[in-house]
Amino acid sequence: MLSPQLQLMLNYPLSQLPESFFQLTGITDPDIWDVLVIYNDSLEVPTPDDLVIYQVTILGKGFALLTLPKNQIQQLDKIPTIEYIMLPEVMQYTLDKKVSEVCGSNIASPSSGYGVTGKGIYFASIDSGIDYTHPDFINPDGTTRIAYLWDQTIEGTPPEGFFQGAEFSAADINLALKNPALVPSVDELGHGTALCGIAVGNGRADFRERYKGVAPEAELIVVKVGQQGDNEIKSSTRGPRNTEIMMALKYVVDKAILHNKPISILIGFGINEGGHNGNSSLEKYIDSLSTSWRVNVVVSAGNQANKDSHVSGKLTPREVKKISVFIDDGQPYYFATLWKSFIDDFGIVIQSPSGERTDLMVREQVNTNTLLKDTLVSLNFSQASPVSDGEQIIIFLDNIIGEPIEDGNWTIELTGIEILDGSYDIWGESLEQDVRSIRFNEPTKDKTITIPATSDYATSVAACMNNGLLIAPFSGRGYTRSGKIKPDISAPGVNVISASINKEVMYQAFTGSSAAAAFVAGGYLLLLEYGINQVGNQYLFGEDLKAYIIRTAKRQRSISYPNQEWGYGELCIKSALLELSRLYN
């Protein structure tokens, strides 16, 4: 079965694909595409005689990444073990207080009574890379704290089982500390370096060690995610594809298994496109890995609460609702996904700012394309699939002559044809920073948590202000589309001082929900060390460990918990360690 996005692009009515296709999928060759497949049993089965597959990357857990000619993608349906075929999706970075302000003052000090520093535990950063020359990631004896570094964006020798990037060991990095040309991996953005500093920085770049991270003796596994040859940062928010993140997840968990070490994994990316219910391919992959080893995966709730990128409502029979979307001048395309129940039947009309309208579009048409002046309006109504629990309707606007789409207020007009439930949610493409060049005019702040933060087993983290009394205005809100409680917990995410790629200052202030997530990932390192390495409970990871940080979270008397903003409360590492020590001692 082909995903709705894949159907839409394979049925694109023009001979030349829109530039937006490449921006949304990261595919660079119009004739050679990457697709992510879900399969059962094995891919080692007879394939059609005329099918050519250039490259196969087995991700495990029933997922694989294939590279093949565009005109042969539909041939994959002839392989009986392949259940679902999807396009890659481009993610976005989610970084828009000191450690002593998360109930963790001096926790990592030997005199704290707990003796935990993250030693013997792996911290995995799946992000924009790391400045491995920064003193915070170098031991006092001058050796690196990084056990492995895989830069997916440069040429070299990739890890076994993969086909892109270059892998470097601790020995390689130690040599490169004297000759950086030996390890030409650079964090141009600084996002990954900052999050590593919050979670595991040892503070050595400051002679007073004022900016020490949560777990300053943990070992690092760093993956700079992205496509090979795409190591230049094109924007401050546009990130890698979900497929590169899935490869990184497999890589870091395999290393942890190889060395028999628990691991805390931090993913610093999010995306709006999806059902926000834990059923995306990336979320299902995270969930499967989370039960396969002593793993805790941490993701941020995203920064979409104040970006006007979501709207929800309820439609009654024969009711017509008009949803207004403002699109500023200069926008090359617009992409949104509407999610609803399969039991309801909606009709959709799209109206341009100049008043032109499409015909009423319904699910029986599956794919429709309508030209309004120079803007092509494409819709796809999805079928039931292994990665969705509702009907997805894709809305895609693109200018056919390479000019920006018409600016002004566009209207998405919904008509209730047959309605039993009537609920719907629409998410526009993720927007970062303070620029809202595309926005719903009457947005909904709830359910603005980004994917993969709606994963069942990942710990999703909201960002609060420095005083711990207010949630950050940008922090993504829950719950999930089905009402599942997310985010799980909150932590400081505004003006957090951490390691910087700026050699002149070494430390800078960072803001964003991924900064908050780094505190939680660091906290897990301490708890994993105490529970598994010190106490000896080999099962104290994953959901069991998440329960401790939820149970011991700080909660304000004036607020009812759990809630859509804070989850179960604010992270308190000290209370979680105290709870564990009482239980086991």
Average pLDDT of the chain to the nearest whole number: 90
Tokens of 583: 């239980």
pLDDT at 233 (0 to 100)? 43
pLDDT at 105 (0 to 100)? 44
Distance between CA 119 and CA 116 in Å, rounded?
Answer: 7
How many CB atoms lie under 10 A from the CB of residue 127? 31
Tokens of 89: 């999706």
End-to-end CA distance of the chain: 54
| pLDDT tens by residue, 310-337 | 999 999 999 999 999 999 998 888 999 9
Distance between CA 38 and CA 92 in Å, rounded?
Answer: 23
More confident residue, 7 or 282: 282
Is 295:413 a contact under the CB 8 Å cutoff?
A: no
Identify the bridge partners of residue 323 per DSSP, sorted by sequence position.
Answer: 412
Q: Let me know if domain 94-305+451-584 sits in CATH 3.40.50.2300.
A: no
| pLDDT tens by residue, 439-456 | 999 999 999 999 999 999
| pLDDT tens by residue, 12-57 | 766 667 777 887 888 888 889 999 999 987 776 556 667 888 889 9
How many CB atoms lie under 10 A from the CB of residue 78? 12
| pLDDT tens by residue, 340-394 | 999 999 999 999 999 999 999 998 888 899 999 889 999 999 887 777 778 999 9
Highest mean pLDDT among 115-129, 199-213, 237-251: 115-129
Task: Give me the mean pLDDT over the 141-163 stretch.
Answer: 97
pTM: 0.92
Give the three-class secondary structure for 74.
helix
Distance between CA 116 and CA 525 in Å, rounded?
Answer: 9
Q: Evaluate the CA torsion angle 340, 344, 349, 353 in order and state its sign.
A: negative
Give the three-class secondary structure for 14.
coil
Q: Where are the domains of the chain?
A: 94-305+451-584, 310-440
Tell me the C-alpha to C-alpha distance, in Å, between residue 24 and each of 21, 294, 334. Answer: 5, 34, 11
Helical ranges in 274-416 per DSSP H: 281-290
CATH code assigned to 310-440: 2.60.120.1290
| pLDDT tens by residue, 396-429 | 999 887 788 999 999 999 999 999 999 999 999 8
Task: Give me the mean pLDDT over the 503-521 stretch.
Answer: 94
Whether the predicted pLDDT of 551 surpasses 60: yes
Distance between CA 128 and CA 233 in Å, rounded?
Answer: 9
Tokens of 476: 């993504």
